C-alpha cells in the first residue's frame, strides 16, 4: 500500500491537504484536510453589520464578490431591508459575470493542465491543428499561421527554461491522452483565455467601480447610481459597453470554451466513470427574478439524494448543521452534535501534530474545516449540483445543453456523476449564464427608460430602524457552490457571524457518523498509475474547483518522502 499526501502551498483561502491510500493502482481511502484556521467570524464580532461585507469579501482574495453578496443578504434579512429591482438586477449581473469569468479561468488556467500535455504540443503539426480547430468551431483564429505562431511562442518559452505556469506538472505522464494537435489547440486557447479575461474584467469595473474588491455593495441595495443621463452613473453609454463586453464573452464561451471542453472530454470518456462522490447535491438557488425573499430563481434551489434524477426536494435551511468530530474545534455541548449555523460556535482547539509532520491521525480530529451536513448527509455543492437540480427541475436551456453534451459524447445521464461530469457541468453553466446575462442588461435599460432609478432601500439604513435583536441568513450560489452567511445582530452590532463556504461542503472531513465528505468519497476508486505522480488525484480534486492550490508529495507507508512536486 502506498500513502499519497497532497500538501498545501498556498493560503489563498486555506490550505488543502489530501491523504490517500493506494492499493493495486486505485485509491482505497482518502482524507481531506484544511490546515489553516479561518476565523473571520471572530474578527466580525462587535462590528457594524453594514461593514461586514467589506471584511468578508477579503476572506478570499480571489473570489471576493461572493462573500460580499452573501453578507449583505444576511444583514438585509436580519434588519428587514429590501433592495429595489435595479439593485437585484445589478447583483445578478455581477454574480453571473463573476461565475462566467471564474469558470473560464478554472478550465483553462487551473484545470486544463491536468488533461493537456503542454510539452506534447511542441510536436504538433500546425496545419493539422488548424484542421482540428476548424472542425469543432468557426472561431476565426484557427489558421495554420496562427498555430505556427503559438507553437513558436511556446517553444521560445521552453527554450528560455522559464516554464512559469507550465513549470510544475507531470509532462509525459501516461495518463495524458490527447494527440499533439489537441494539446496545441488547448495551449493556444490557454493564451486566448488570458487575453479574453483581461477584456472581460472591465465588466466588473463598469458595474462595481473596481475589481475584485468591489466598492458598490450596500446593505439595502447598491451604491452604484443609475441614471441614463449622468456621466457619473450607470448610463446609456455603460449599457452599450456592457452589451459589447457580454457579446464578446458569449462568443468566446460558445466558440472556444465549450467546443474545447467537448473535444478534450471525448478523449477522456473513462473519466465519466471516476470521481462520483457522495451522490447528494445541494443548491441554494441564484439569480432572483423578482423582489422578496421567496422570489423565483433562474438557477433553482433544491436537493437531490442518492443520484436519484427522478425528483428534487425543496431546500430547507433549517436542515443544515455543522459537525466537528474530526475538526479542530470544540462545541460547548459536546463534539458529537451538529449545530445549525445560526447558533454555530467557533472555538478553535488544535490537537493535530506540530508541523512539519508526515501524516495526520485521521482517526482523530484532522481538519480546520467543519463537516457541513444537510439532514445529516454530506452534500456536493457547485456547478454539477446546480446543473443536476436545474435539469431535473425542467430548466429548458439546461436540459438542452446537458442533452447536447451527453449526445456529443455518446454517454447517458449517469455519466454526469463523475469527474468529467463536474467539468462538463461547469462549461454548461457558463454557457447558460453568458446567454442569460444580457437579459439583465435589458432589464436595467428598461427600468432606466421607465424612469425607475431606485438602487437602494434607505428606510433601514439607520440602526435606530432595526429590531433590537434579530438574525438573518444570506444565501448565494458562488462559482464553487452554495455559500451561506448567518448573522445575529444585537443592539446594532454583530453578536454572532458564521460562514459556511462551498469548499467546506465539498472538502470537509468525515462527520460524527464517519461519513466521508465529497472530496473523500470522490477519490475512492480513482486510478493512480504512478503514486509518485498522482495526476489522477489532482484531476478529481481540481474538478471541484478547490479554492486552495496544492503541492503534492508522495510518501511511502513509513512516511518517507519519495517525491515532491508542486502543482497548482
Q: Which of 17, 204, 480, 542 is catalytic?
A: 480
Q: Of these, 204, 373, 480, 510, which contacts other proteins (CB under 8 A)?
A: 204
Q: Residues 285-294: contacts with CB within 8 Å, 24+ apart?
A: 285/315, 285/475, 285/477, 286/95, 286/386, 286/476, 286/477, 287/92, 287/95, 287/96, 287/436, 288/88, 288/92, 291/82, 291/83, 291/84, 291/85, 291/88, 292/82, 293/77
Binding mask 36-75 for other proteins (x = CB under 8 A): xxxxx--x-----------x--xx-xx-------------
**Residue 248 binds other proteins (CB under 8 A):** no
**Residue 237 binds other proteins (CB under 8 A):** no
Contact 5, 356 (CB under 8 A): no
Contact 8, 560 (CB under 8 A): no
By beta-carbon proximity to other proteins, the closer residue of 49 and 378 is: 49
Q: Is 345 a catalytic residue?
A: no
d(CA 380, CA 195): 32
Angle between helices 383-392 and 419-450 (to 10 degrees): 70
Whether the upstream peptide bond of residue 408 has omega within 30° of 0, thus cis, is: no
Q: Is 460 a catalytic residue?
A: no
Contact 297, 286 (CB under 8 A): yes
Binding mask 136-175 for other proteins (x = CB under 8 A): -----------------x---x----x-xxxxx-------
Residues in the chain: 568
Q: Three-state secondary structure along 154-175?
A: HHHHHHCCCCHHHCCCCCCCCC
Q: Of these, 441, 499, 549, 552, which contacts other proteins (CB under 8 A)?
A: 549
Q: Is 13 a catalytic residue?
A: yes
Task: Tell me, by CB under 8 A, how many residues bind other proteins.
Answer: 44
Contact 8, 548 (CB under 8 A): yes
The C-alpha cell of 170 is what?
507531470
CB of 166 to other proteins, least distance (A): 8
Q: Is 547 a catalytic residue?
A: yes
Q: Which of 17, 33, 50, 60 is catalytic?
A: 60
Rg (CA), the chain: 23
By beta-carbon proximity to other proteins, the closer residue of 65 and 521 is: 65
DSSP H stretches of helix in 125-234: 126-136, 144-159, 180-208
Binding mask 449-488 for other proteins (x = CB under 8 A): ----------------------------------------
By beta-carbon proximity to other proteins, the closer residue of 480 and 568 is: 568
Q: Is 99 a catalytic residue?
A: no
Q: Is 550 a catalytic residue?
A: yes
Tell me which residue of 10, 31, 164 sits closest to 541, measured CA to CA: 31
The C-alpha cell of 425 is what?
457541468
Q: Of these, 24, 198, 356, 558, which contacts other proteins (CB under 8 A)?
A: 198
Place of cell 452599450: 240
Q: Is 499 a catalytic residue?
A: no
Instruction: Determine the interface stretch with other proteins among 71-79, 186-194, 426-434, 458-466 (rule: CB under 8 A).
Output: 186-194
Q: Of these, 211, 280, 367, 393, which contacts other proteins (CB under 8 A)?
A: 211
**Residue 191 binds other proteins (CB under 8 A):** yes
Q: Which of 13, 76, 286, 443 is catalytic?
A: 13
Distances 554 to 4, 230, 360, 478 between C-alpha atoms, Å: 5, 60, 14, 32
Tell me which residue of 119, 118, 120, 145 sits closest to 133, measured CA to CA: 145
Residues 74-113 that bind other proteins (CB under 8 A): 105, 109
Q: Is 568 a catalytic residue?
A: no
Name the residues annotated as catalytic.
13, 60, 63, 67, 480, 503, 547, 550
- Tell me which residues touch other proteins (CB under 8 A): 9-12, 36-40, 43, 55, 58-59, 61-62, 105, 109, 153, 157, 162, 164-168, 190-191, 194-195, 197-198, 201-202, 204-206, 209-213, 549, 566, 568
Amino acid at each position: 500500500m502506498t500513502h499519497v499526501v497532497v500538501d498545501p502551498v498556498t493560503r489563498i483561502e486555506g490550505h488543502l491537504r489530501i491523504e490517500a491510500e493506494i492499493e493495486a493502482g486505485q485509491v482505497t481511502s482518502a482524507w481531506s484536510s484544511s490546515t489553516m484556521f479561518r476565523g473571520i467570524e471572530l474578527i466580525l464580532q462587535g462590528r457594524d453589520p453594514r461593514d461586514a461585507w467589506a471584511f468578508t469579501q477579503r476572506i478570499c482574495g480571489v473570489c471576493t464578490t461572493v462573500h460580499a453578496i452573501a453578507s449583505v443578504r444576511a444583514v438585509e434579512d436580519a434588519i428587514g431591508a429590501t433592495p429595489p429591482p435595479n439593485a437585484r438586477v445589478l447583483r445578478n449581473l455581477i454574480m453571473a459575470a463573476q461565475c462566467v469569468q471564474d469558470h473560464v479561468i478554472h478550465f483553462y488556467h487551473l484545470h486544463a493542465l491536468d488533461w493537456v500535455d503542454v510539452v506534447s504540443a511542441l510536436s504538433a503539426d500546425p496545419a493539422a491543428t488548424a484542421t482540428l480547430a476548424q472542425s469543432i468551431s468557426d472561431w476565426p483564429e484557427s489558421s495554420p499561421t496562427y498555430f505556427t505562431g503559438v507553437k513558436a511562442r511556446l517553444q521560445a518559452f521552453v527554450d528560455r527554461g522559464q516554464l512559469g505556469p507550465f513549470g510544475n506538472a507531470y509532462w509525459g505522464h501516461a495518463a495524458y491522452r490527447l494527440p499533439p494537435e489537441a494539446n496545441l489547440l488547448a495551449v493556444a486557447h490557454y493564451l486566448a483565455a488570458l487575453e479574453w479575461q483581461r477584456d472581460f474584467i472591465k465588466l466588473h469595473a463598469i458595474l462595481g467601480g473596481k475589481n475584485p474588491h468591489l466598492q458598490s455593495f450596500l446593505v439595502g441595495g447598491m451604491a452604484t447610481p443609475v441614471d441614463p443621463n449622468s456621466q457619473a452613473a450607470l448610463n446609456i453609454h455603460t449599457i452599450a459597453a456592457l452589451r459589447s463586453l457580454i457579446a464578446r464573452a458569449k462568443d468566446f464561451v460558445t466558440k472556444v470554451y465549450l467546443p474545447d471542453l467537448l473535444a478534450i472530454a471525448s478523449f477522456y470518456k473513462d473519466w465519466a466513470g471516476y470521481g462520483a462522490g457522495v451522490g447528494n447535491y445541494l443548491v441554494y438557488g441564484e439569480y432572483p427574478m423578482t423582489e422578496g425573499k421567496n422570489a423565483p430563481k433562474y438557477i433553482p434551489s433544491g436537493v437531490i439524494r442518492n443520484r436519484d434524477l427522478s425528483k428534487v426536494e425543496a431546500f430547507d435551511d433549517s436542515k443544515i448543521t455543522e459537525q466537528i468530530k474530526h475538526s479542530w474545534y470544540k462545541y460547548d455541548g459536546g463534539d458529537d452534535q451538529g449545530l445549525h449555523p445560526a447558533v454555530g460556535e467557533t472555538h478553535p482547539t488544535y490537537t493535530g501534530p506540530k508541523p512539519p509532520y508526515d501524516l495526520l491521525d485521521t482517526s482523530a480530529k484532522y481538519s480546520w474545516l467543519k463537516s457541513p451536513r444537510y439532514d445529516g448527509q454530506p452534500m456536493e455543492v457547485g456547478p454539477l449540483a446546480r446543473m443536476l437540480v436545474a435539469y431535473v427541475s425542467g430548466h429548458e436551456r439546461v436540459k438542452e445543453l446537458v442533452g447536447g453534451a451527453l449526445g456529443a459524447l455518446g454517454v447517458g445521464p449517469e455519466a454526469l456523476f463523475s469527474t468529467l461530469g463536474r467539468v462538463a457541468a461547469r462549461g454548461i453553466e457558463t454557457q447558460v449564464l453568458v446567454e442569460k446575462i444580457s437579459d439583465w442588461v435589458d432589464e436595467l435599460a428598461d427600468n432606466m427608460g421607465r424612469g425607475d432609478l431606485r438602487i437602494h432601500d434607505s428606510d433601514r439604513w439607520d440602526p435606530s430602524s432595526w429590531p433590537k435583536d434579530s438574525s438573518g441568513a444570506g444565501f448565494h450560489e458562488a462559482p464553487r457552490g452554495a455559500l451561506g452567511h448567518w448573522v445575529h445582530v444585537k443592539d446594532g452590532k454583530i453578536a454572532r457571524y458564521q460562514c459556511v463556504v462551498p469548499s467546506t461542503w465539498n472538502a470537509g472531513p468525515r462527520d460524527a457518523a464517519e461519513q466521508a465528505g465529497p472530496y473523500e468519497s470522490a477519490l475512492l476508486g480513482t486510478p493512480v498509475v504512478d503514486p509518485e505522480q498522482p495526476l489522477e488525484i489532482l484531476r478529481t480534486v481540481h474538478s471541484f474547483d478547490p479554492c486552495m492550490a496544492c503541492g503534492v508529495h508522495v510518501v511511502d507507508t513509513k512516511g518517507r518522502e519519495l517525491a515532491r512536486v508542486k502543482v497548482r
